[in-house]
Structure 1
Amino acid sequence: MNAFSHPSADPNFEEAGGMPGGHRASGGLADQFDLRRLFNIFRRRVRLFAAVAALVFLAAIFITFTATPMYTATANVMLDTRQERVVSAEAVLSGLSADSSVVDTEVEILKSRRLAERVVNALQLSQDPEFNAELAPPSVLSNIKDSVLGVFGAAKPRDIPDDPIAQQKAQERIVDAVLSRLSVRRAGLTYVINVNFESASATKAATIANKFAELYLLEQLEAKFDATQQANTWLNSRLEGLRQQVLTDEAAVQNYRIANNLLSAAGTNLTETEISNYNMTLSQARAQVAEDEARLSTARSQLARGSSGDDLGEALSSPVIQKLREQRATVSAKVADLQGRYGERHPEMLTANRQLTDIDAQIQAEIQRIISNLEAKVQVSRQRAGAISGSLSNARGTLVGNNQAQVRLNELERTAEASRTLYESYLNRYKETSSQQGIEQSDARVVSSATIPTGQSSPKVPLNLALGLVLAMGCGLGAVVLAEMLDSGLATAEDVEHRLEVSYLGAVPLLASVAEGKASSPIDYVIEKPLSSFAEAFRNLRASVIYSRLGEGVKVVAITSSLPGEGKTTTSVCLARSAAQQGLKVILVDCDLRRRSVNRLFGAEPARGLIEVLAGEATLDEVLTVDQTTGARLLPLAKSSMTPKDVFGSAAMDRLLEELRRTYDLVILDTAPVLPVADTRVLAPKADVVVFLAHWRKTPQHAIEAAFRLLSGTGAHLAGVALTQVDMKQQAKYGYGDPGYYYAEYKKYYVS
């Protein structure tokens, strides 16, 4: 391949499932919740866990046993839904209902600052050092603080200043201290409220809890008393205005009556009474006229029929006619007697006839007088009926005017009635509220007063220790998790493949972790112990590098890293010696112009080296040195090899690599780190593969990714990442499935 690519871009890598050996990584929850992996994480962080947990638990023990014992007293208050009804009048301030929200509201009232301030003032808690920090004895920390501030002239007096704002703040701090000790809770779904107060003094706790309950009930009574008093004051002032309004409205009604002649007696309008009387009198007058006309008409009818008038009804009832008829009867009897005795011509007979004629004449005259009287009565009756009818018409005209004026009068009367009704309702309510003063009842009562507690409520030693232990373990686990999250280094093959998405080439052990006893240097140990696990690690690394490009030969290998000190030179030398021991023709080329670490490892300072060969100042054979132990060739750098020229990008470098590729089986290029030096980016594409080294658990992942980004555009082929300086004893505590996890099982297989 000509492009720098991750193994995920290799088809063979994809077919193998992204894991060495062709095994596909299992996904899902099993990977996320692998208990053995979690156990390994805990095992390697057990010291951190123990240290943090012990520190937190000791802190919990110290706080528990040095805390001031506190006592809690409880007073029980119940909202009483049953109220005594002394009077039937409705109360100004109604009683509390039994709704759940009402009970919760009363709980908040018990916890209010206003009630707490009343308790503070009633018990003079501002003079108590427990609640007033200004009166408390100074602590060690406060003394140190005052001393430090005193040196700089900034020490503050502990006395409460006279400034009103400062006094208010001090009072608020006292109230806050009291409220912090107060706990008010509703007992389940009942109407009972538990008032708990905590104090360093058992007696004080009971006193303050009872005072909260007492002042709560008193506040309810005061609220009702104030509401009743305010209602009475307002009703009294309102009544005076309503009374004046009633008088004004009623005076307007009477004045309007007088002005419009709408006078009445016994609630009845006088004009209407007059019309009623006129109607009755007119009816009677008309009846009288009809009666008189009937009598006159009857009399005239009888006279017209030839009656002498004797049979007239009025004549029959007239005493004069009755007397004259009696006289006529007497005279008539005398005439009859004289006629029989003396005859018609007798003087007495004549006298008697004259008397009889005279009596008849008087009777006819009386009848005529009666007829004339009937006519006069008819005339009088008619005139009287006419007069009454005229008066009735006048009264009706007056009534029409009165009815028109009555519309306004009705409006005035309604206004006056409304004012009178409102005034009476306010007057009745005022009498009711006045009768309620002094009989107000609280909506709650104390079920049980707080008693002096016999045992401390805090600190609860067993509970605190149990919680401290739980907290200690939680903090220990949190520290482990945090350490794992902050650990950006690579520790296992899984870290390399999952986090970097590149192949894992192997691990180079830390010699001290695999060698028994005092070991020599790593480059010598590879020769001295060829069957050791340390030497086997380089054989595994070489095998991984050779097969990193399937189907293509690998001869030129560039070894690099992101940062200095990651074991590039040691790995390069050990890899070269290991390959030479296996019979390969190997050459190690020192390409780190600034460090020349190969020279330091072998303790030699050649006069000529790689730069001189590239410059044509020396031949390859003249500068090559031979490792006498293994026969491997070394192409070093001379001490004076520093040059600003781009020697690795030159055609001479290309020719040199082609010559080395033809001559040797394995060409190892020990290059500089990628991040600080640009030489490796020039040299990497010229190698068949690039082996990237990372210091076990030290090299940050971000540094490796940054180096990858720098190499990505060069066309170099990355074989993978190898971890160096791996502590195999600690590695066994890391990821389950990593080769190092089984080191304890197979380490006896090697010869130390």
Structure 2
Amino acid sequence: MDNSPSIYVERPLQAHLPQHQQHGEEKDTIDLLKFWRVIWRAHWKIAWLVLLACALAMTILSFIPAQYIGSATLLIKEKTPPLLTFQQVTDSSSGTVDYLQTQLALLQSRDLAERAVKKLNLTTNPVTDPRQQPQSWFTPREWLANLDLGQWLPALDFLIPQQVTPTETDIFNEVTQNLMKRTDVKFVGKSQLLNIEVLLPDPDLAAATANAIAQGFIDSQFDNSLKSSQTNASWMNSRLVELRNNLRIAEDKLQAYREEQGLVDVGGVATISANELEMTGNRMIDARRNLAEAESRYRQVQALSNGDLSRLSSVPAVLSNALVQKFQAQQAKAQAKVEELSGRYGPKHPTLIAALAELRTATDSLRLQVRQVVASIEQDYQLAKASESSLHKSFNSNKTQIQDISRKEFQLRELQREVDSSRALYETFITRLKETAATSDMDSTKARIVDPAIVPLEPSKPRKTLIMVIVAIAAALIGMALALISEARNKTFKTDEAVESTLNIPLLSVVPLVTKRSRRQLARLFDDNEHPRFCETIRNLRTWLMLHGGEKPSQVVLVASTMADEGKSTIANNLAYSLALLERVLLIDADMRRSSLSLNFDFPADSPGLANVLAGTARLEDCIRTVGNLDMLPAGKLAPPPLDLLSSPCLAPLLEALKSRYQRIIIDSPPAQMVSDALLLAKHSDAVIYVIKAESTPVSQVQKCLAILQQSHAPVFGVVLNQVDLRKARKQGYSHSDTFQNYDYLTR
């Protein structure tokens, strides 16, 4: 069953605009979606390029030795005036920057580098000792020795530089210079923190070296402060005697006042009194709250003291008693029993009399218990009142005592402050004197280690992750650029959209690529029905052709192409087979230079054909061969040149005679680019089907051939995009017509 063809809609704007204007608009507009499609089609190639570049970068990085950074952080304090100065302290903010820059220069000095080299014995460490570094793969002397030219070495000494054994001093200087080159000191932002970084191949040694430089800087500050500490020691000793006498006088005054007032520990007594006052206050608050509650209960009971039992027992304070509730339940039970028996027996019945006695007993018990509860409420009220009064008196007594202690404490604090200030000044001088004596004035160092260097876990150079990311991004960009350049240079047809937008000619069908088939199998592919997709496209092309022309169908159909090997003959053969199922069809092989019809259908090599008929050397009936329902006219033997035969006046009468015998004539034309045979045959045709091989035929050549045909007023019917690799197109993101999608949906 034939599928109806997809409707082709021409683009009105492109159809009516001049060609140069269309190209101008396309050049002025950047189609980003087009670029993205090109990149997406090449995404697998780009991915492989990225992987290859990353693998190559990883291989190169594996040969580069890792470098580790040991980092220690120092805090440089601002320059402050000395403790014992009596000069006016002026604003030193202008010199702070210069001071910090000086400290930065000191950290980069050779003295600190030498301290670190000596402390860590870097002259003998395999990592830093130049004598233990790996040598080059070969030296000229070793190369000559391997050639058995040792006897000539003395004569060649002037050509080969002699190696001089370095002294210990040279090694020390070289290691120190290398350490200074590998040490970097910089400020952390705009703070007073300095970061010391040492770059070495050994992580442990890098951290130890950074800490050694930081500690060496602090040690140098200690050494510099030694002289100034010794200078101030003598003056501080004389001043210390005076301060000791002042402290002794203040302590004597304080002790005399304590003995006069009989004080032992004012602070402790005040604290105990304050705690007692707070506790008494809290207890008084609780006592007042209990008194209020007891008074409330007492007032309720007093208001109903002359009332009956039922009203008194309904008071919440009385009713909450468990025994009262129990006796009320017994009374209610006895009352219910009396009411029940009174309706059943007379007033003198023993059972009723017993029930009444039980009711009286329950009532008396309830009354007695209520009175006991009332008495208990009155007793609780009296106790709460007495407790509140006692606590109030105790609170006032504690408050008076605390006020008296506060007055004494004020005077004691005056004397204590004088003692403390004298002692503080005395102790300050004592501490200063000890620091000076021990040459350890901490304040004069002006620096301390904030963060000591720790052993780095990961190398700092080379930064493999960053390098791999950069390589991957660069490879991806290069891959994208190559894809765009390849797309720009590949001026062939890949999609049906490209055919329609470039040629502005209807696309009749998109024929899929058929692989693993011989030339003869391709010629009979529709008749054998071995490739459903291919057969569907041929049916689609047949439907287009049958609908073309309306009441006057296209009887003579020319199948042409730009170059050879585009599948033109395969399309013509299978189209003829498809039409032969519905009409009487003749297939003519007009490609007399590369005839294929005889080869595809195993006709004899010397069998006559179109060339013989036009030359008059054979009859038409002798040249026509029948294969199934299809009649075929081979190219025949080539005698005169094909162009002369096709230009002869015999071609038009021959086609007219064939039109009367066949409903459809399919002509397999020679390539349009190579010869002018297609142009001559197009003049005698009703429709020209132009075959283009996907991703092979250059766009410029197709445009040139179609322009020649259109200038000759050839009836170009439409274009067939042939040999489209659907799998490749799907992977690369190309989209084709909906014929295959609809067919896939119908055949699932």
TM-score, scaled to structure 1: 0.47
TM-score, scaled to structure 2: 0.47
Bigger relative contact order (CA 8 A; separation at least 6): 1
Largest Rg, 1 or 2: 1
